[in-house]
Amino acid sequence: MENVDQQVQESIQMVIEVVTAYGLDVIGAITILIVGWWFAGRAKAWAVKAFKKTEHVDDTLTTFLGNLIRYLVIIITLLAVLDRFGVETTSFIAILGATSLAIGLALQGTLSNVAAGVMLLFFRPFNVGDFIEGGGQSGSVKSIGLFVTHLNTPDNVEIIVPNASLWGSSIKNYSFNSTRRVDFVFGIGYGDDIDKAMSIIAALAAEDDRVHKDPEPVIVVGELGASSVDIITRVWCDSGDYWNLKFHMLKSVKERFDAEGISIPFPQTDVHLYKQGA
């Protein structure tokens, strides 16, 4: 019994020594972790608030920088926790670097999307809200992330495009410039009055306030086609008025041509039937 009591006392003594030696470190590590995690969230909120007050930083880059600051604070917090337990952070960083290299080699495709996302965020070929065409897709930019870019089509379908596909292809940004040119081709019959048709188009363009006076509209005969005289019309407008102006002009020109007796040829085939004698 004396041996058992002695072993119990030794075990209790060992537990007390361990708690005394590492208890404060554990409590300190937990405290650092909680405070660091809280501060990471607050740092992100402060950064986002500060960036939003700056006119030169848009919403997409604001979110990215806020998350970056949060992750940096979390990494520093984890290193501080490890240092609390006497772990050599320099060795840990070296191990982390080697591990990151191995993971990077295994995830080359994913990392290429990350690299492309960083390039898109800093070089800004387009912004949130722009209508673009790239990577074989087109739509309005909803958000730009580190891995993918979210697009919304005009019929409200969301398309998720990998950043590497966008960065590795030509990008058309239809919203980049404040003005756009609208091109039309109106075909009239060979027997119709060309000058009259051109005057009608010019009058309709002048009546529409969305058509810019500078540069002035261009209305010329572009081609003598197989069945029509093609009148090329080019007018300038604000980028936001492009489609409304295009649809309106097409309808207005057709209605005015009909009212003025100007024909718009359409493809047709003449079939001749011959009755063969007996």
Nearest-angstrom CA–CA distance, 247 and 253: 10
Q: Is there a cis peptide before residue 215, judged by omega within 30 degrees of 0?
A: yes
Nearest-angstrom CA–CA distance, 44 and 35: 14
Structural domain spans, the chain: 2-106, 125-173, 179-260
Domain made up of 179-260: CATH architecture:
2-Layer Sandwich (3.30)
- 160 Cβ neighbours under 8 A, 6+ residues apart: 148, 149, 150, 151
b vs e for 191-224, b when ≥16 Cβ sit within 10 Å of the residue's Cβ? ebeeeebbebbeebbeebebbbeeeebebeeeee
- What pLDDT score does 271 carry? 79
Domain made up of 2-106: CATH architecture:
Orthogonal Bundle (1.10)
CATH number of the structural domain 125-173: 2.30.30.60
pLDDT tens for the chain, residues 1 to 278: 555 566 656 666 665 555 555 566 667 777 777 887 888 888 888 877 777 776 666 666 677 777 778 878 888 877 777 766 666 656 666 666 666 665 555 445 677 777 888 888 778 888 888 999 998 899 999 988 778 899 999 899 999 999 888 888 899 999 999 999 999 999 999 999 999 999 999 999 999 999 999 999 999 999 998 889 999 999 999 999 999 999 999 999 999 999 999 998 877 676 777 877 65
Backbone angles phi, psi at 188, to 5 degrees: -125, 165
Distance of CA 37 to the CA centre of its chain: 30
Count of residues in the chain: 278
- What pLDDT score does 135 carry? 87
- 134 Cβ neighbours under 8 A, 6+ residues apart: 161, 165, 166, 169, 170, 171, 172
pTM for the full predicted model? 0.60
